[in-house]
Structure 1
Amino acid sequence: MHGTETIPVGRVRDGALDLLKWLALLCMVLDHLRYVGLNLDGLYVPGRLAFPWFCLAIAANLHRVKDGPATFQWRYLGWLLLFSAISEVPYRMFIEDADTLNVLPTLALGLLVARGWLQKVLFDRGLALIALLLAAVFSSSLMFGFFGVLLPLAMLLVFSRPWYFSVVPGLVCVAANQWQVLLDSGNGVALSGLAMCLIAPLAGLVLLRHAKNASPAAMRRWAYILYPLHFLLLLLLRQIIA
């Protein structure tokens, strides 16, 4: 990849984007396997790929349909909000000491922020501003906090810039992952997790660029159910192990 190149994202459905979504889902499941009662702390490291790759998928979808009908983007937001509500109970059943909401509200607010930047319409900019205010006020209640809401926008900005600008969403991702706590811990898993946060955006962008010939199953609307469902399946696994 040369310094003058940008990361193209096609307007038609491509296998690379579906592959990115499947890998993000896999990394999320690996991360949550740490809570089933086994000594699997090392899975924290690949788990740091999940959130930034979901944010990258949002940015890629917005980039692909930026000149298309707005109804798609509103449906996108609607599904995120619907499954935010559906997933909260399974999430809290599995993560018993959870001190934030599940990840979908963060992604929904991030979608509004990125969409407002892209559309440049007063109404959309207003919604983006409201989303930013909500993220600032309720940062402690959102998974990945205020910077997590900014990450889809940071990812979106890289699409029209040289690949080395991926350091910007990398730093935003680090900020969203309690970097001070991880740095202070000083252990190998925590430091490796920080490094993974930093390189996750670039790794995802490289995948989108070079995996065009991939042909995984298309991840369509039915895939939203996998988020609450995986909590229930892992809860069952924990009960079996116990």
Structure 2
Amino acid sequence: MWKRLQLNQGIPNFNWFRMKKALNVSEQIQRDGRVDLLKWIALITMIIDHIGIVFFPDEAIYRVIGRIAFPIFIILLAEGAVRTRNKKAHLIRLWVFACISQIPYLLLIDPYVLNVIFTMAIAVTCIRLPYLIPVVFIGLMIIPVDYSWYGVGLALIYYYLRKWPGIACILAVNLTFLYAIQIGSFIQFWAVIGLVLPLIIRKVSFRIPNTSKYFFYWFYPVHLAILFIISKVY
């Protein structure tokens, strides 16, 4: 009798566990849909920026739109550093694609600066090995890397303050203003849109099809190479 009662009491608990698991999976899918949307926004604005650099260097609107991309990429990078199942593989993958991307980057954008994936790889290295942070920031004063200390600092803010996205956004906006003043670029102020946009999308409920993570890794060097070929043909 007692055993039968125990079994009957165990059934609701088991069903509750299954229901809770299903809700978590649903929530994960929905969150991934938002992440993919942000990735697509960042990709499209980045392409517009690079098209402007190559084909319309005197048109500021392309650069304004392009400022939206980098903050979104960095916010997603910080979130990915938390959610990744294999931290070592994630870091190695960033360094590998940084090296792969450097050739088309130096051909198309700047032969004297390391591309933005190096910035991301350096940022995740600081996340995994925080005792290197002072050394890294000193090194960034010497080695030219795209977005330099600003990019790494932005990633650290969103990683360590991930539970307080509002506070992270406020600090990131201030960091953006400092960086814009340092480089003397009014256009950089428009990056604030890329900092606020994830907070807005976080409140929206929708789903879009997930895209392979390797697509986004390969997209950067491939689109640079394509733009370089087009620039030489036309």
Q: Is the 8 A contact 2:165 2:199 kept in 1?
A: no
Q: 1:84 to 1:24 in 2, by over 3 A?
A: same
- Corresponding residue for 1:103? 116
- Sequence identity percentage: 26
Shift of 1:165: 4.4
Aligned residue for 1:210, secondary structure, equals coil
Shift of 1:141: 1.1
Is 1:210 aligned to residue 228 of structure 2?
no
- Corresponding residue for 2:191? 197
Shift of 1:81: 0.4
Aligned mates of 2:124, 2:92 — CA distance in 1: 11
Given residue 143 of structure 1, which amino acid in structure 2 is its aligned partner?
D
Decide which of 52, 57, 67 is 1:48's aligned counterpart: 67
Is 1:14 aligned to residue 35 of structure 2?
no
Q: 1:223 to 1:197 in 2, by over 3 A?
A: closer
Kindly name which structure, 1 or 2, has the bigger radius of gyration based on alpha carbons: 2
Q: Is the 8 A contact 2:91 2:121 kept in 1?
A: yes
Q: Alpha-carbon deviations, 1:132-159, whole Å to 9, x = none?
A: 4133223341111122111111122443
Aligned mates of 1:240, 1:93 — CA distance in 2: 14
Is 1:112 aligned to residue 125 of structure 2?
yes
Give me the TM-score of the superposition, normalised by structure 1. 0.75
- Corresponding residue for 2:172? 169
Aligned mates of 2:106, 2:43 — CA distance in 1: 19
Q: How many residues align?
A: 205
- Corresponding residue for 1:120? none
Is 1:37 aligned to residue 50 of structure 2?
no
Q: Alpha-carbon deviations, 1:92-127, whole Å to 9, x = none?
A: 1112x44310111110111122x34xxxxxxxxxx2
Aligned residue for 1:14, secondary structure, equals helix
- Corresponding residue for 2:130? 128
Flag as ranges the 4+ runs of structure 1 deviating above 4 A: 10-13
Q: Alpha-carbon deviations, 1:205-233, whole Å to 9, x = none?
A: 322x1344130442412321111111111
Given residue 195 of structure 1, which amino acid in structure 2 is its aligned partner?
F
Q: 1:224 to 1:165 in 2, by over 3 A?
A: closer
Aligned mates of 1:200, 1:14 — CA distance in 2: 18
Given residue 197 of structure 1, which amino acid in structure 2 is its aligned partner?
A
Given residue 130 of structure 2, which amino acid in structure 1 is its aligned partner?
A
Superposed CA RMSD: 2.3
Shift of 1:47: 0.9
Aligned mates of 2:165, 2:107 — CA distance in 1: 43
Given residue 116 of structure 2, which amino acid in structure 1 is its aligned partner?
V
Q: Alpha-carbon deviations, 1:144-203, whole Å to 9, x = none?
A: 112211111112244312625411012223444x43343xxxxxxx53x33322342222
Is 1:83 aligned to residue 97 of structure 2?
yes
Q: Is the 8 A contact 1:81 1:105 kept in 2?
A: yes
Given residue 27 of structure 1, which amino acid in structure 2 is its aligned partner?
T
Structure 2: which 5+ residue stretches go unaligned? 1-26
Q: 1:238 to 1:58 in 2, by over 3 A?
A: same
Q: 1:138 to 1:159 in 2, by over 3 A?
A: closer
Q: Is the 8 A contact 1:25 1:50 kept in 2?
A: yes
Moved more, 22-31 or 85-94: 22-31
Given residue 24 of structure 1, which amino acid in structure 2 is its aligned partner?
A
Aligned residue for 2:55, secondary structure, equals coil
- Corresponding residue for 1:61? 80
Q: Is the 8 A contact 1:34 1:43 kept in 2?
A: yes
Give me the TM-score of the superposition, normalised by structure 2. 0.77
